[in-house]
Structure 1
Amino acid sequence: MAGISPTSLVTTGPGSTNVSLPNSTVNGLTTENDLPVDNATVPWSGFDPAETTHSCSITRESYGVVAAIVAVICFLFGVLYTFFGYRFLKAVLFLTGFLFATVLLYMILEEQGDLLPPEGTLACAVGAGILLGLLSMLLPYFGLILTGFSLGAGVAAAVLVLVEQFIHPPTRWIPAGVFLLFGLIFGILGLKFPKGITIIGTSVIGSAVGLASVDYFLELSRASLYLWDRLMADQSDTLCWYSWLMLALWPAVALLGILVQWKCTGSGVDHRIAFRNRHEQGTHVQQSKAQERRETQQTRYRHLYQARRVRGDVISQNYIQSIQHKLSPAMQSLTALNVEANPEEESTATTMLTQVT
């Protein structure tokens, strides 16, 4: 371009028209990221600089109203999970099943493309989440397995992030197998050590959900999508320093939640009380009713015996009185019976007989 003055020719592409621009204009061109344009690259050439350069500047994005509300709610749930997971075990088991099924099914349907409209995808994901949440809450040991499986999935995600820095998995079966392996291991451990795995699992899940909400407002869930790419074995853009900071805060916040639950909120709480199933409760109720029936029957017999002691047998009294009338006056004086009823005894006997009947 040195032989052309005062303008320079800029080539926009094969088969395109050359544009003549002043040298000062070409030298002053910058991309959207304020990077200088080399080799006469112009914005209208059809080449998007954002495809090769990634901006790490924190900018204010336009957030969706629904997505922002969901992010705030997830942040509150994350705080509940991280610091109060073991104390509110029934509610946490429902939320674990709900979030697990909703997020997994939604991401799978989104990965399939135009299989369903957005409203249909969301409805299917929420419906599956409600069903799995109810199943986890009504079957507590299934909820424990699911909590352990979620913990294993979190550990598998951390392992895949570390492996990605050295080698990229050639197929999706490798990360899927890693997720399944860690999930099954921690799911079985959840049945063996319920309290420990529940505290660790709720802290890890809660910190992940809370930081994912913060990540949405910070960079539109770029770090969260990076973790999803690790599961799908897809290529990802290079993360910025604050994305790595979000990923580094995950184990730190999880460790803080474990300490808080173990020392404060989870202390003195027994999960076996919450796991008392309806069959045991029904058996206890039946035993209580049978005991009450036995006590009532014994009380009725006791009242009847007391009534007979107070008033005596009516037939026996009449028989004795008839014999007295047949005796001589001397014998009647010797065997005289006080047949006049005491008013107090009569009222007591009447009351007892009323209770018996």
Structure 2
Amino acid sequence: MEEALLPLAMTSDPRPFNQQLPEPPDPRCVLEPQDNPELAPALVCALCCCFGIIYCCFGYRCFKAVMFLSGLLSGALVIFLLCHKERVLETQLSLEVSAGIALGIGLLCGLVTMLVRSVGLFLTGLLLGLTLGAGALLGTEPIYQPPSAWVPAGGLVGLALLGALLTLRWPRPLTVLGTALLGAAVLVACADYFLEGLALGSRLGQRLQALPALPPLCWYSWVLLGTWPALGALGALAQWKLMDEEHGGHANGKLV
């Protein structure tokens, strides 16, 4: 009886008493979608979702339209960044003027990529290589930290040029693959915006700058990143299915 009433011995190591307690969740990784997203970015994101579905499922079927959109968006984005961030003729251009110049040059680029097939294929291959490089840069974060910003930049440029050359050599399969993966990446980016405010996009920019000691990505960021190749594979299968049906219809028409 006396032994049962002895006081508990205090120890400096609390681990044996806390082994069964769950660890508190990381406050960064609490999934809280945006309550009131801004109207303009939300509309742009919804429009990008439509473009992503067209690219992913109908990229080869709507070849001309996809080439025009690729040239328009790529040219407009590059020119807008150059005009808005840099001084042109010793003058800092306003946002509206930069957008107007970018839209005009983007339309010209879109017409060129739509009318000149080789230019459209080259741009599709460039986008394929950039998309694969961006996915690889995000996916290898836990196991590889680039020593310099030149490493990811050089890798992206090399993959883009390789994708462009391979697309010129094998246009049909790589156009299907490139449009499917690009459309899937756009859909994942839109979901990333609504769920976590473009956390994956911000992390991609940090990886391109080779910033050290980055906090780990949350579990739902990895889920979103994992859905990208899955959506790309589904989109490529859908495009091949549509092509088979189209070729089968042409063959039946010839037989009749």
Structure 1 length as normaliser, TM-score?
Answer: 0.55
Match for residue 86 of structure 1 among 60, 66, 84: 60
**Change in CA separation of 1:77 and 1:125 when aligned onto 2, cut-off 3 Å:** same
**1:138 and 2:115 equivalent?**
yes
Percent of residue pairs identical:
36
Q: Distance in 2 between matches of 1:105 and 1:171?
A: 27
Q: C-alpha offsets along residues 270-315 of structure 1, whole Å, 9 cap, x if unaligned?
A: xxxxxxxxxxxxxxxxxxxxxxxxxxxxxxxxxxxxxxxxxxxxxx
1:195 equivalent in alignment to 2:172: yes
Q: Deviations 1:181-212 (Å, cap 9, x if unpaired)? A: 11111111111111101100000111111221
Asked if 1:226 is matched to 2:203, the reply is yes
Contact 1:152-1:179 within 8 A present in 2 as well: yes
Contact 1:102 1:129 in 2 (8 A): yes
Paired residue for 2:254? none
Q: Is the 8 A contact 1:75 1:211 kept in 2?
A: no
Q: How does 1:14-29 map to 2 (within 5 A)?
A: none
Matched length? 218
Matched to 2:128, the amino acid is: L
Q: CA deviation at 1:231?
A: 3.0
Structure 1 match to 2:237: 259
SS of the aligned residue for 1:164 comes to coil
Cα distance in 2 between the residues matched to 1:217 and 1:125: 27
1:331 corresponding residue in structure 2 = none
CA distance in 2, matches of 1:67, 1:259: 31
Aligned to 2:74: 100
Change (3 A) 1:103 1:227: farther
| Structure 1 residue 131: Cα displacement | 2.7
1:209 is matched with which residue?
186
AA partner of residue 246 (structure 2): G
- For 1:173-322, what aligned pairs fall within 5 Å after superposition? 173-234=150-211, 236-265=214-243, 267-268=245-246
Query: Which residue number corresponds to residue 70 of structure 1?
Result: 44
Relative to structure 2, which stretch is displaced further, 154-163 or 254-263?
Answer: 154-163
Structure 1 partner of 2:20: none
Flag the structure with more relative contact order, 1 or 2, with Cα contacts below 8 A and sequence separation at least 6. 2
- Is the alpha carbon distance of 1:165 and 1:263 closer, same or farther for their aligned partners in structure 2, counting shifts above 3 Å? same
Letter aligned with residue 248 of structure 1? G
1:121-165 Cα shifts (integer Å, max 9, x gaps): 544544443232222112111100110111011111122223332
8 A contact 2:29–2:219 mirrored in 1: no
Q: 1:98 to 1:162 in 2, by over 3 A?
A: same
Q: Describe the shift of the 1:228–1:128 C-alpha distance in structure 2 as closer, same or farther (beyond 3 A).
A: farther
Task: Confirm or deny that 1:155 pairs with 2:132.
Answer: yes
C-alpha distance in 2 between matches for 1:130 and 1:266: 33
Deviations 1:32-65 (A, max 9, x none): xxx9xxxxxxxxxxxxxxxx96353314343221
What amino acid does structure 2 have at the position aligned with 1:100? S
CA offset digits 1:4-27 (Å, max 9, x no partner): xxxxxxxxxxxxxxxxxxxxxxxx
**Distance across 2 between alignment mates of 1:219 and 1:110:** 27
Q: C-alpha separation between the residues in 1 aligned to 2:96 and 2:215?
A: 29
Pair member with larger Rg: 1
